[in-house]
Amino acid sequence: MKSSCIGCPYSGNSRVRFIRDTDPGAWADLVEFDRAIRNGSPRATVEGKPLRGQFFIHRSLRPLAEVDLDATRGRSGAEEDDPDGCSPFSCRSGAEATVPGPVGLSIRQSDAVPAA
């Protein structure tokens, strides 16, 4: 299992299913986090920066507790996870970019910027 942010919106069904099936405490935290972010941050709303729309952890844009994470298990051609995936050190979603590294080396930008 790769290490990454528990609330990563790039996590596919297999990773979220793993959390659900192996760590009940983390699953409860993830479901609660998904519920808590639904309408944005109360602080941002008070500061005049309300959320337009709703936030969801799962790509289906449904509450995590209602998502059938087993629907794609074993299905041919099912997109179980983000094809870029995550690494223990950074999020690798999106197009790959290179930046100059030390001593003339080039490194992927995603590897150069640690995940928050």
pLDDT tens, residue by residue, 53-106: 888 888 889 999 999 998 887 776 666 655 555 555 556 555 555 555 455 444
Q: Is the pTM of this model over 0.85?
A: no
pLDDT at 66: 95
Q: How far is CA 61 from CA 10, 43, 65, 97, 104, in A?
A: 12, 23, 12, 28, 43
Q: Which two tokens stand for residue 34?
A: 């998904």
pLDDT at 46: 84
pLDDT tens, residue by residue, 10-48: 778 888 898 999 999 999 999 999 998 888 877 887 888
Domain assignments of the chain as residue spans, ordered by start? 1-72, 84-116
pLDDT, greater one: 93 or 8: 8
